[in-house]
Amino acid sequence: MVLSAPSSSNLFWDSNVFTAFLRDEQGVYDVNSIAQYLGEARERKHQIYTSSLVFAEVLPSSMKPGVGSFEEFLDDFRGALIIVDASPNATQIAGRLRDLPYRKGTSTNRRLATQTR
């Protein structure tokens, strides 16, 4: 008999995913799928990783009224979400990546940006 580990996926979510969910931005994002992933993460079907930088990027004032705080949300999903601290090396690399120009469509000198909500 061969036993196999339960299949699960590893996901990385940036702050824009949490903001879309916590603001219930159904007109722009597939919020129902985000909710489904969160539910499945509670069931250990997924491991959702996120950077500790989300604490600086998810603004309390941008959350839908009645949702509570981002910290309360994280407490509700303790064990389903894995918070990873951004190391100095990772943030330096991120700075270098943001400084590289790239093309999209007819635009030739674009730069990566952080969330600005």
pLDDT on residue 5? 46
pLDDT on residue 45? 92
Quickly state the pLDDT bin for 113 (edges 50, 70, 90): low
Mean pLDDT of 96-106: 79
Domains present along the chain, CATH in parentheses: 9-86 (3.40.50.1010)
Which range, of 2-16, 33-47, 81-95, averages the lowest pLDDT?
Answer: 2-16
List pLDDT tens digits, range 42-62.
Answer: 999 999 998 888 888 888 887
Distances (CA, A) of 81 to 3, 16, 32, 37, 85: 26, 15, 18, 11, 13
Quickly state the pLDDT bin for 115 (edges 50, 70, 90): low
d(CA 13, CA 18): 8
Contact 30, 70 (CB under 8 A): no
